[in-house]
Amino acid sequence: MNKYNGKSEEGGIATQSGDSELYEGEVRLKIKSSEDFKQVDRFSEYLKTVENLEIASYNWSEHDGLMMVVSLQSPMPLGIILSQISMVKQVYQKHHNIVAVLNTLVVDQPAVIAT
């Protein structure tokens, strides 16, 4: 049974971290990142450590952005797995895709000291 937390920013359905929907076979992930490709690379490297999950392909288009197809060798709660990655801000389902929104990191900001 799907458990949902209402609508996401993009009009999809936001999953709760306790979403227990099981996925198996090929699953399309849409990756939303306002950072550079290094952040997406770190995300991909983390996915490579998940047992029974293989990255099958990457695709980028002007319309969809970055799409990743992952192959799941056994049923797994992919929403839970993705939501537990520290760089993932939000996970939701939109149409036939799972969308992972990556956190925006603030780096190289000058420190402001109040006097």
Band (113; pLDDT cuts 50, 70, 90): low
pLDDT at 50: 94
pLDDT at 105: 62
Query: Two tokens at 6?
Result: 């209402």
Determine if the pTM surpasses 0.75: no
pLDDT at 90: 93
List, for residues 6-29, the tens digit of each pLDDT value: 333 443 334 444 456 899 999 999
10-29 b/e (C-beta count within 10 Å ≥ 16 → b): eebbbbeeebebebeeebbb
